[in-house]
Structure 1
Amino acid sequence: MHEFIATFVFFFAVIDPIGTIPVYMAVTAGMTEPAKRRVAAKSIAIAAAVLVFFVIAGELILTSIDIPLSAFQVSGGIILFLFALTMIFGESKPEEEIKMINRESETATFPLAIPSIASPGAILAAVLLTENNRFDLWEQFLTTAIMCLVLFITLILMLLSSFIHRFVGTLGTSIISRVMGMILAALAVTNILSGIQVFFGL
């Protein structure tokens, strides 16, 4: 049970549903309510497809090019740690990704689905938390289900974005994003230490 709670927190930190709200509101500004709902649903569908692809094929890709998962775990942990530092010390997720908006682009795909929801950190987490040598098929299925639960929560929050943003505000989403960054930094260090332990057989 504790492991699944940790997995939920991990995915919640890297996907950052609350930090997605300002991005969603910015890319859908001026749209009708039905159009906003279509953008939300499409962005979640695209993000889910990308993340599930990496759950299924991520390890196969690494194995085919002879990269041990322990090495990927260490490198992934380092990247996640750097990603967490940008969340803590740099521009928050909403501030950074709102700048990526191009009104003429397909906003459901960019920047909403990628890189806001299916972020590099989420892709790394999808691979690391479904490693074949560490987790059986049932555990991988449960991890994927937890990932999809976080995506569903993200969808619900986007659909309720106007109310939530009035309640939390831009400052609130920025603070929450930085707190998630601190949690992610701790999880990243745990992954690095675990990868080193596996690589050296400690």
Structure 2
Amino acid sequence: MLSNIAHDFILLFAVIDPVGSLPLFLSVTRRYSPEKKAAIALRAAFYSALIMLGFLLVGQMLLHAIGIRLGAFQIAGGIVLFLFGLQMIFKPEQEEYTGGHSEPGHDVAVFPLAIPSLASPGALTAIIILTDNRLHPPIEQSITALLMLMVLLFAWLLMRAADRIFKLLGENGTAVLVRVMGLLVTALAVEICIEGLASLHWLTLPPD
């Protein structure tokens, strides 16, 4: 039981990736006041929790009801994540620290922080797999939900400490880190697409 809990926690930590989301938070909130940054961090963690709990409860049934296989969901999510990673790498320098998407009515806590950063396609897929109704009883699904909330709590704590981390890195260091993480995000997106294709048996070779 403990080994399963440890496995699930490590998996959720990897796919939610609170450390990897920190450069993005630094980028989209660079020009905001400390009070607004704190509010954005709280909303991002809260929205991510709502989205992932929703997928935990009804994600598998929803995909099954509309005839979408997990592999297809992974591929679509991977493509979205890939495009977002490209934006992190090639975004013009003058747009990098303006607070991100500033059009009226847009909340950076929703996009890109909650989706697709914290509640990423990989995280949503992992939640559905780890709470498969055919394999896991309600008590195990509840433990998975608690582990997920623990990871999001850690992500919130990291975002709250973003200013101090930025002071250590500096503006140039943060810009470099954002682009490196963008490259890692695109690589992760490719992996997600490959796993989705493999799960659909499109790449399965016939036996010799």
Query: Is residue 9 of structure 1 aligned with residue 6 of structure 2?
Result: no
Gaps of 5+ in 2: 1-5
Of 74, 93, 112, the residue aligned with 1:116 is 112
SS of the equivalent of 1:26 reads coil
Structure 2 match to 1:128: 125
User: Aligned partners of 1:73 and 1:198: how far apart in 2?
Assistant: 9
**1:16 alignment partner, SS class:** helix
Q: Rg larger in 1 or in 2? A: 2
Pairs aligned (count): 192
Residues 58 and 199 (structure 1), Cα distance of their counterparts in 2 relative to 1, 3 Å cut: same
Q: Does residue 56 in structure 1 map to residue 57 in structure 2?
A: yes
Q: Which runs of 5+ in 1 are unaligned?
A: none
Task: Rate the CA distance shift 1:15–1:51 in 2: closer, same or farther, 3 A.
Answer: farther
Question: Is residue 82 from structure 1 mapped to residue 83 from structure 2 by the alignment?
Answer: yes
Encode CA deviations 1:46-105: one digit per residue, 9 max, x unaligned.
33212322333333222221112222222222222222222223358x827714236x86
Shift of 1:156: 1.7
Cα distance change of structure 1 residues 48 and 7 upon mapping to structure 2, 3 Å threshold: closer
The whole-number CA distance in structure 2 between the counterparts of 1:43 and 1:13 is 11
Is 1:186 the counterpart of 2:187? The answer is yes
Task: Tell me the residue number matched to 1:154.
Answer: 155
Q: Indicate conservation of the 8 Å contact 1:54/1:126, yes or no.
A: no
Equivalent residues of 2:48, 2:114 under 8 A apart: yes
RMSD: 3.6
